[in-house]
Amino acid sequence: MRILVIGGGGREHALVWKIGGSPLLRSRADLMCVPGNAGIEDHASCLPAPARGLTDVAALADLAVKERIDLTVVGPEAPLMSGLVDELTRRGLAVFGASRAAARLEGSKVFAKEFMQRHGIPTAPFEVFSSCRDTLDWLGSTERSFPIVVKADGLAAGKGVVVAPDRASAQEAARAILEEKRFGAAGERIVIEECLTGAEISFFALTDGESATPLASCQDHKRLGDGDTGPNTGGMGALSPSTDLDPDMERRIMERVIQPAIAGMAEEGSPYRGVLYAGLMLTERGPMVLEYNARFGDPEAQVLMPRLESDLVPLLVAASDAGGRMRDIAGRIRWRPEWAACVVLASAGYPGSPETGRMIRGLEMAAKVPQTEVFHAGTRRERDGSLRDRIVTAGGRVLAVTSLGRDLGEALNRAYAGVECLSFEGMQFRRDIGGAALSRLAARPEPLLGHTPREREG
């Protein structure tokens, strides 16, 4: 079987690493990635992105035809929303990912909120605005309470959401989006919604458009700084399993959030296939949807893939447009009992304007830490004139150090031992990944999912 993965971040490195181990591939030559990165090159043939980028769906589909690809796996949101899945399907090629119409669940927050309202899916009460004047008037009413959340409708690279502590900052956020057009066309409309409190988790389900099966639970760390401070990022670290999810809650989420979304999309004529990612707040009123995404999370994929014992490829095929067989496979997904922890190393300036081109040291040493994978995100191989290439930073998030352990403490110790080996100028990372989860485990009378908590050493 020949597989093409689209994307070049940490999520795609984790996917390529896992797919590369599948017995369904005869050799490394059967796995390709566009554009990949310096780490992905170890497992797949990497080809440059089309000149117009990963939204040039015709060029990507031409490549899949030319390379006789049996399954294309789409990592990031941009090619999904540009219709890559539709284009490949039109040409009779199998693809894992959501169609353009299905990907609106991620691409438009207005669509997602109104969809949830139509189908009775729990989410924060909200209003939609396109006029700045109307927004400011509405926010000015004495009936409003703060904090309140202001969201740009379209894709804004994770920067389009402001949790506004008071009226003035909510009005400022609305002005920045609707009047100053900070996010361009992605900010033609805004959603304003109630601020929810509770534990935030990332929930993933594979679906063929009819039936769905959940993946292992996991948790992201969205803020840049220790103690959940600083700006929101794409994610600075992740854990699996989540310490906030038990089998009963998983069932409720499947029943109230995942199944109604899949049934609703099918009913509205845009069947949803691939992976459905719900960002959830576990509130006192039950699980509520913060957002849907049409792809695997990053860095959530980096903790899910090492824990997945089953072959990923049959799962991707079952959830692809060639599938319709999710139901047969669902009960047979096997997960390792170990915990996984991931620490992201980011460039100076991330998430604003990251500095790039800095040499990365210590990759060989980090690779020796037991049960540890250093997934590459923004990295590039550079010829420096000597016999050996060097690997330099090429993006905001650079590396995602992921380790398995018999308990969360061991996984974290190993991941941070990997981090100790690595350095580049301006490197920033969180020192408290998993800290809150360890405290929760220590305070819990009953061990969760059979794992016994152990303090992180050192």
Interface pick for ligand GLY out of 107, 187, 241, 297 (rule CB under 6 A) = 297
Q: How far apart are CB 408 and ligand AMP at their closest, in Å?
A: 21
Stretch 233-272 residues interacting with ligand GLY (CB under 6 A): 234-235
- Is 427 a binding residue for ligand AMP by CB under 6 A? The answer is no
SS3 25: coil
- Is 75 a binding residue for ligand GLY by CB under 6 A? The answer is no
CA 90, 46, 75: angle at the middle one, nearest 5? 50
> Which residues, 6 or more positions from 285, have their beta carbon under 8 angstroms from its beta carbon?
122
- Is 287 a binding residue for ligand GLY by CB under 6 A? The answer is no
Stretch 260-319 residues interacting with ligand AMP (CB under 6 A): 279, 290-291
- Is 200 a binding residue for ligand AMP by CB under 6 A? The answer is yes
- Is 196 a binding residue for ligand AMP by CB under 6 A? The answer is yes
Query: In this complex, which beta carbon is closest to ligand AMP, that of residue 278 or of residue 312?
Result: 278
Closest residue to ligand GLY, based on beta-carbon distance: 235
- Is 163 a binding residue for ligand AMP by CB under 6 A? The answer is yes
Strand (E) positions, 75-140? 95-96, 126-129
- Is 298 a binding residue for ligand GLY by CB under 6 A? The answer is yes
> How far does the chain reach from its first CA to its final CA, in angstroms?
46
Query: In this complex, which beta carbon is closest to ligand GLY, that of residue 264 or of residue 299?
Result: 299
Choices 110-118, 163-171, 251-259, 293-301; region in contact with ligand GLY by CB under 6 A: 293-301
The token duo for 152 is: 């740009």
Query: In this complex, which beta carbon is closest to ligand AMP, that of residue 146 or of residue 335?
Result: 146
Residues 115, 84, 185, 351: is their CA dihedral positive or negative?
A: positive
CA atoms within 13 A on the CB side of 233: 31
244 binds, among ligand GLY, ligand AMP, none (CB under 5 to 8 A by kind): none
Identity at 110, one-letter amino acid code: V
124 binds, among ligand AMP, ligand GLY, none (CB under 5 to 8 A by kind): ligand AMP
Stretch 168-207 residues interacting with ligand GLY (CB under 6 A): none
The token duo for 189 is: 């409309």
- Is 191 a binding residue for ligand AMP by CB under 6 A? The answer is no
Taking the C-alpha atoms of residue 147 and residue 30, their distance in angstroms, rounded to an integer, is 51
Choices 83-91, 194-202, 240-248, 351-359; region in contact with ligand AMP by CB under 6 A: 194-202
- Is 153 a binding residue for ligand AMP by CB under 6 A? The answer is no
Q: How far apart are CB 376 and ligand AMP at their closest, in Å?
A: 24
Strand (E) positions, 113-248? 126-129, 148-152, 161-164, 190-194, 199-207, 212-214, 219-220, 223-225, 229-232, 237-240
DSSP string, 180-199: S-TTGGGGSSEEEEEPP-SE
Taking the C-alpha atoms of residue 305 and residue 174, their distance in angstroms, rounded to an integer, is 38
Q: Which residue has the tokens 């169609």?
A: 99
- Is 7 a binding residue for ligand GLY by CB under 6 A? The answer is no
SS3 154: coil
CA 425, 426, 431: angle at the middle one, nearest 5? 120
Query: In this complex, which beta carbon is closest to ligand GLY, that of residue 12 or of residue 220?
Result: 220
DSSP string, 237-255: EEEES-TT--HHHHHHHII
Identity at 158, one-letter amino acid code: G
Query: In this complex, which beta carbon is closest to ligand GLY, that of residue 272 or of residue 296?
Result: 296
- Is 128 a binding residue for ligand AMP by CB under 6 A? The answer is no
Q: How far apart are CB 295 and ligand GLY at their closest, in Å?
A: 7
Choices 291-299, 327-335, 365-373, 409-417; region in contact with ligand GLY by CB under 6 A: 291-299
Residue 52 per-residue DSSP state: T
> Which residues, 6 or more positions from 229, have their beta carbon under 8 angstroms from its beta carbon?
223
- Is 177 a binding residue for ligand AMP by CB under 6 A? The answer is no
CB of 398 within 8 A of CB of 347? yes
Query: In this complex, which beta carbon is closest to ligand GLY, that of residue 182 or of residue 223?
Result: 223
Provide the binding-site residues for ligand AMP, judged by CB under 6 A: 124, 149, 151, 161, 163, 193, 195-196, 200, 222, 232, 279, 290-291
Provide the binding-site residues for ligand GLY, judged by CB under 6 A: 220, 234-235, 293, 297-298, 300
